[in-house]
């Protein structure tokens, strides 16, 4: 098709007008009254100076320690938290209990038997079965990744100890995890289907020190797929070097305890809304941790962040219009069981859940603010994002997932946000004995508290409907 010069010019002029108009519309920012704006500024300053959130994670990880899902320690974490939340002045404090299958390690060790005998640093994966007493001893067969194992014939895998040596990529947004975690989830099952004796994986993590990263296998805790363990990165390197020289024999010994049913629960506390208390702005974290460290970064920090933020909102002259609900989820690490229990128990109230967020990505600073709102609610996203800019947080996309325990809420129609933390170092510590309180930087934690206080307050005070589809 051909156009005359004038027609073309008119077209491009019209096109730029249209573009200008749509850009202006796309950047509509909702108004925030001065009084609300002043409160947000107070909250941000209060967050940066906060001491409550940092003390919460310090004392949780010190006075309770590791908090394995379904254990006596997780139960202690629930009573410890309810007492702390009461002392801080929260309302409607309660535990919503639910049963979970229980798994814990008793023994997990491995060594190279030949050609150069030496111990390896390993950790059993959550859901691993026990080996026969005394362990399994077998020749090792190495695979680059999960796909290579899948493609291997049963003949080559049968009676061997499978070793998947895939490394994880370090990224700021943690996207390397999704790829790397596949071997943790599927190795034992695929190995046992092919008649292998046990499965070892290079730890799902980004550090190069001599400790191993645990984590859940794909199946539920009581239905084990076989013995499986993660190897520390230096031990994975050692194993690989030896395998380049010839056959290597390894002994793996795992002994686990399982129970079909153990108690877990979600701890809930609220700042009750002054006008529409039934409308909920949910900010969450998970209270359980793996057993190796004290679960400071995963996820004591997240609990410090949401408790710190809600307590600041509570300290304002008057409560916001809507309720701010803090949920400390139980049993996240073993399959988001607290998240599912909450969604089920509160299924009838989902329409009243105005917004949800979960902090579960460590203690580093938030660098961008992701939303998952109706298209018509984007001016609210921009208004929040502008208020967060002084904290060094940039606007982001509208495809947020919200966080593990609230990942099922968008499907139920609940708008979510992900205040995205810098995850560059997160997988150095994740699920290791090195996840301890000393790794938390108070200034970085406080930047999170300031941001959570600001957006949760805005969502609870303003009349915004984040589900809104059209302007």
Nearest distance in Å: CB 363, Zn ion: 12
Stretch that binds Zn ion, among 138-146, 291-299, 395-403, 441-449 (CB under 5 A): 291-299
Select 194 or 286, whichever has its Cβ closest to Zn ion: 286
Tokens representing 360 are 């579960």
Answer for which of 279, 288, 299, 358 binds Zn ion (CB under 5 A) is 299
Give Cα 102 to chain centroid, integer Å: 20
Contact 418, 356 (CB under 8 A): no
d(CA 385, CA 466): 14
Nearest distance in Å: CB 303, Zn ion: 10
Q: Which of residues 5-64 bind Zn ion (CB under 5 A)?
A: none
Stretch that binds Zn ion, among 138-146, 322-330, 356-364, 382-390 (CB under 5 A): 356-364
Which position has the token pair 């406080």?
446
Asked whether the CA dihedral 40, 343, 381, 441 is positive or negative, the reply is positive
Nearest to 314 by CA among 25, 63, 90: 90
Stretch that binds Zn ion, among 63-71, 167-175, 297-305, 369-377 (CB under 5 A): 297-305
d(CA 417, CA 435): 26
Nearest distance in Å: CB 17, Zn ion: 49
Which position has the token pair 């550090």?
207
Nearest distance in Å: CB 332, Zn ion: 6
Nearest distance in Å: CB 338, Zn ion: 11
Stretch that binds Zn ion, among 200-208, 337-345, 353-361, 377-385 (CB under 5 A): 353-361
Stretch that binds Zn ion, among 77-85, 137-145, 294-302, 382-390 (CB under 5 A): 294-302
Select 69 or 200, whichever has its Cβ closest to Zn ion: 69
Please give the size of the binding site for Zn ion, defined by CB under 5 A.
Answer: 3
Stretch that binds Zn ion, among 68-76, 209-217, 258-266, 352-360 (CB under 5 A): 352-360
Answer for which of 253, 358, 360, 461 binds Zn ion (CB under 5 A) is 360
d(CA 464, CA 468): 9
Select 142 or 430, whichever has its Cβ closest to Zn ion: 430
Select 380 or 427, whichever has its Cβ closest to Zn ion: 427
Select 299 or 434, whichever has its Cβ closest to Zn ion: 299
Nearest distance in Å: CB 297, Zn ion: 9
Q: Which of residues 57-116 bind Zn ion (CB under 5 A)?
A: none
Select 225 or 360, whichever has its Cβ closest to Zn ion: 360
Select 166 or 435, whichever has its Cβ closest to Zn ion: 435
Nearest distance in Å: CB 330, Zn ion: 12
Select 225 or 298, whichever has its Cβ closest to Zn ion: 298
Select 146 or 429, whichever has its Cβ closest to Zn ion: 429
Answer for which of 298, 358, 370, 461 binds Zn ion (CB under 5 A) is 298
Select 270 or 299, whichever has its Cβ closest to Zn ion: 299
d(CA 114, CA 78): 47
Nearest distance in Å: CB 431, Zn ion: 9
Nearest distance in Å: CB 424, Zn ion: 17
Spatial neighbors of 142 by CB under 8 A, at least 6 apart, are: 163, 164, 165, 239, 240, 243
d(CA 424, CA 412): 31
What separation in angstroms does the CA of 451 have from each of 124, 196, 378?
A: 37, 49, 18
Stretch that binds Zn ion, among 83-91, 94-102, 241-249, 359-367 (CB under 5 A): 359-367
Stretch that binds Zn ion, among 167-175, 310-318, 357-365, 452-460 (CB under 5 A): 357-365
Nearest distance in Å: CB 385, Zn ion: 25
d(CA 170, CA 153): 32
280 forms beta bridges with 323, 353
Nearest distance in Å: CB 299, Zn ion: 4
Binding site for Zn ion (CB under 5 A): 298-299, 360
């Amino acid at each position: 098709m051909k156009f005359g010069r004038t027609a073309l010019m008119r077209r491009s002029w019209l096109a730029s007008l249209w573009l200008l108009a749509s850009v202006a519309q796309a950047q509509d920012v909702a108004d925030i009254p001065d009084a609300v704006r002043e409160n947000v500024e107070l909250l941000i300053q209060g967050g940066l100076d906060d001491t409550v959130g940092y003390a919460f994670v310090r004392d949780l990880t010190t006075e309770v320690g590791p908090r394995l899902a379904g254990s006596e320690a997780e139960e202690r974490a629930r009573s410890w938290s309810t007492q702390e939340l009461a002392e801080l002045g929260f309302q409607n404090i309660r535990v919503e209990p639910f049963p979970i299958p229980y798994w814990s390690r008793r023994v997990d060790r491995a060594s190279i038997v030949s050609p150069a005998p030496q111990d390896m640093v390993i950790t059993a994966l959550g859901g691993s079965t026990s080996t026969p007493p005394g362990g399994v001893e077998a020749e090792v067969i190495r695979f680059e990744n999960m796909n290579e194992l899948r493609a291997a014939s049963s003949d080559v895998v049968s009676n061997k100890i499978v070793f998947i040596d895939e490394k994880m990529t370090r990224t700021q947004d943690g996207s390397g995890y999704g790829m790397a975690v596949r071997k943790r989830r599927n190795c034992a099952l695929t190995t046992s289907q092919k008649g292998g004796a046990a499965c070892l994986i290079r730890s799902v993590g980004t550090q190069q020190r001599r400790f191993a990263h645990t984590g859940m296998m794909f199946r539920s805790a009581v239905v084990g797929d076989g013995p499986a363990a993660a190897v520390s990165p230096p031990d994975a390197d050692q194993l690989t070097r030896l395998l380049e020289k010839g056959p290597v024999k390894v002994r793996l010994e795992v002994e686990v305890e399982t129970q079909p049913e153990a108690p877990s629960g979600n701890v809930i506390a609220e700042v009750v809304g002054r006008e529409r208390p039934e409308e909920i702005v949910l900010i969450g974290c998970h209270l359980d941790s793996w057993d190796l460290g004290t679960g400071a970064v995963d996820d004591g920090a997240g609990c410090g962040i949401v408790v710190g933020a809600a307590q600041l909102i509570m300290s304002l002259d008057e409560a916001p219009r809507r309720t701010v609900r803090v949920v400390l989820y139980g049993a996240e690490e073993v399959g988001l069981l607290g998240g599912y229990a909450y969604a089920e128990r509160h299924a009838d109230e989902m329409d009243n859940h105005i917004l949800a967020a979960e902090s579960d990505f460590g203690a580093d600073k938030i660098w961008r603010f992701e939303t998952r709102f109706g298209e018509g609610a984007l001016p609210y996203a921009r208004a929040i994002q502008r208020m967060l800019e002084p904290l060094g947080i940039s606007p982001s996309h509208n495809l947020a997932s919200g966080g593990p325990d609230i990942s099922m809420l968008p499907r139920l129609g609940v708008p979510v946000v992900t205040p995205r933390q810098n995850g560059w170092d997160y997988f150095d510590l994740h699920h290791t004995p090195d996840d301890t309180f000393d790794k938390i930087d108070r200034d970085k934690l406080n930047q999170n508290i300031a941001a959570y206080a600001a957006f949760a307050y805005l969502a609870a005070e303003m009349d915004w409907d984040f589900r809104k589809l059209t302007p």
